[in-house]
Amino acid sequence: MEILVYGAGALGSLVGGLLARTHDVTLVGRDPHMRRIREDGLRIDGAVDARVRPRALTDGTHRSADLALVTTKAYDTDAAARALATGEYDAVCSLQNGLTEERLVAALDATVLAGTASYGACIAEPGRVTCTGVGEVVVGSLSGGPDPFADRIGAAFDAAGIDATVATDMPRRRYEKLAVNAGINGPSALSRLQNGATLDGPAAEVSRAAARETARVARADGVDLADEAAVAALDRVATDTAANRSSMHQDVVAGRRTEVDAIYGAVTERAARHEVAAPTCRTLSALLRAWERGRGLRGEK
C-alpha cells in the first residue's frame, strides 16, 4: 500500500517507519529530521528495533497515496488539511489528539477515518526515533459501523507487524481517548510528572475528575461512555505508559505550544454547548493557556 504520513514527528516517524518495513511510505515533516532520513534512512530503537528508508519530504502538497495518516499536532490540523486537499487519497485517517476529524472532513473529498495510536515515541536525534512503548493502532468509521477502507487499512497495519484493531464503535473510542488525554496530559504537564505518577499521588483525583467530566460531555453528545469506563481507560493507559512523559509534558518542558485547545477546549466547548459542568477541565485549560500566554505562545484567548 502507498501511505503518506503527514506530520512525521515522533509518533508519525515511528508508525510510518514500522509501516515502511512492508509498504511504500512517504514521510512529510521538518528538517533536520527529514534531511537526515533522506541521507541515512530512519533508525528506530527502544522497544522496537528497525532501520528503514522511507521517502522524506518537507512539502506535503500535490501528493497522492492510497492512505494519508495525519499525525501533526492538533493545532496544525487545518494546515495539514489544506496541504492534503491539493493531492489525491483514497482515505485519510487521523491519529491525533483531540477531536480533529471533523475539520478534515470539511476540507477533503477523501473518506476520513478516525483512529487512535497508543505507541509511545520520542525523537532521540534527527533521523532516529525511540519507541518508548509498544501499543496498538485502532481505526474505524468516524460515525461508527463497518467500513471497507478501515478493513483495508487494518490489514495493511497487520501486514507490517503493527497490532491493529478495526473498530465499529469509533464515536465512543474517540471520547475515551479524549478522556485519557484530559486525565493525563494537563496534570502531568503542570506537575512535571511521568504518566504513572499522575494516578499515584495528589494529582490522582484531578486526573480522574477530568476523565469523568469528559465522559459526561460524551453522553450529552449522544455517545455512550460511562464515567467508570473513562476512568478505567485512564488507569489502564497511565499504568501501561507509567514511565513515559506525556506529549503535553514534553511540550511544556521544551517551552512549546501545547494541545490545550484540542483537548480541554474540546471538552469545555462541548460542555458549554450542552450545559454540562466541567470545572476540572476548565481549570486545567485556564492554567495551561495562562502558561502559554506568559511564554508568548498565544494571544489573549
The residues assigned a catalytic role are: 177
Cell of 69: 495518516
Helix (H) / strand (E) containing 93: strand 88-94
Query: What span, in angstroms and rounded, lies between the C-alpha atoms of 165 and 110?
Result: 21
Ordered strands of the 24-28 beta sheet: 55-57, 24-28, 2-6, 64-70, 88-94, 111-117, 137-141, 164-167
DSSP-assigned states of every residue in 117-156: E--EEEEEETTEEEEEE---EEEEETTSS--HHHHHHHHH
> CA-based angle 50:70:101, to the nearest 5?
145
CA atoms of 219 and 114, how far apart (whole Å): 19
Look at residues 28, 94, 34 and name the one whose alpha carbon lies nearest to residue 62: 28
CA distances from 161 to 51, 69, 84, 95, 110 (A): 14, 17, 27, 18, 26
Distance CA 249, CA 5 (A): 24
The residue among 118, 96, 101, 123 whose CA lies nearest residue 162 is: 118
